[in-house]
């Protein structure tokens, strides 16, 4: 996969926007996991190398972005924008709202969901796509018909292993 680096920016009101994980350690773990994730035939184009900005915003800001770019008048968990022909080294941006995460209020769950959403957005920037939603079958195993979600969870598992967080999603 491509060599990417992540830069984080917090414009949200959340004080614990990294969910209790050291930002520099999270950056290293995410970059490593994304570099190790294999390319698949689901990709639209070859992966790029460069910087991806991860931007934490308020629920109002992510709602406004969702309206402007997707014509949906509600907040969303993650948005990503690809800049394939940018003159500088920036190849995209991922926007999330820490206050809008749809998860339990446990720090570990918040950390894992934050990682999952960052990886999800980055995979879109790198050319991966999906048709449906993240689903599991009756036994709790990830629906493997969506290759992007399988790859996403492989990357999430790598980051969780780096931090010693128990892996609860069956791949």
Q: Judge if pTM exceeds 0.75.
A: yes
Residue 99's pLDDT is 75
28-55 residue pLDDT tens: 777 777 777 665 444 445 456 788 899 9
- Alpha-carbon distance of 51 to 48, in angstroms, equals 10
d(CA 115, CA 151): 13
Q: Residue 70 is encoded by which pair of tokens? A: 């997707």
Which phi and psi angles does 77 have, rounded to 5°?
A: -80, -35
With CA atoms as reference, report the closest residue to 103 among 93, 115, 120: 115
Position 169 confidence tier, pLDDT thresholds 50, 70, 90: very low
Delimit the domains of the chain by residue range: 4-163
- Give strand pairing partners of 51: 5, 90
Q: What are phi and psi of 88, to 5 degrees?
A: -95, -165
Whole-number average pLDDT of the chain:
76
Higher pLDDT, 100 or 40: 100
CATH number of 4-163: 3.40.390.30
Task: Select the more confidently predicted residue: 105 or 73.
Answer: 73
- Distance, CA of 166 to CA of 30 (rounded, Å): 17
Mean pLDDT of 109-134: 82
pLDDT at 171: 38
Which residues are paired to 95 by β-bridges? 55, 79
């Amino acid at each position: 996969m491509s060599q990417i680096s992540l830069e984080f920016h917090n414009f949200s009101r959340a004080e614990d926007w990294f969910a209790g994980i050291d930002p520099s350690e999270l950056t290293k773990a995410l970059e490593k996991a994304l570099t190790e994730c294999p390319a698949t035939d689901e990709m639209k184009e070859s992966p790029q190398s460069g910087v991806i900005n991860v931007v934490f915003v308020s629920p109002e800001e992510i709602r406004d972005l969702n309206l402007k770019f997707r014509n949906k008048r509600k907040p969303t968990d993650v948005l990503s924008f690809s800049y394939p022909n940018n003159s500088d080294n920036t190849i995209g941006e991922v926007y999330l709202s820490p206050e809008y995460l749809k998860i339990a209020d446990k720090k570990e769950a918040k950390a894992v969901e934050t990682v999952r959403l960052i990886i999800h957005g980055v995979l879109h920037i790198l050319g991966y796509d999906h048709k449906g939603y993240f689903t599991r079958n009756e036994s709790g195993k990830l629906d493997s018909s969506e290759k992007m979600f399988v790859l996403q969870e492989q990357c999430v598992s790598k980051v969780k292993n780096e931090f010693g967080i128990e892996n609860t999603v069956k791949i």
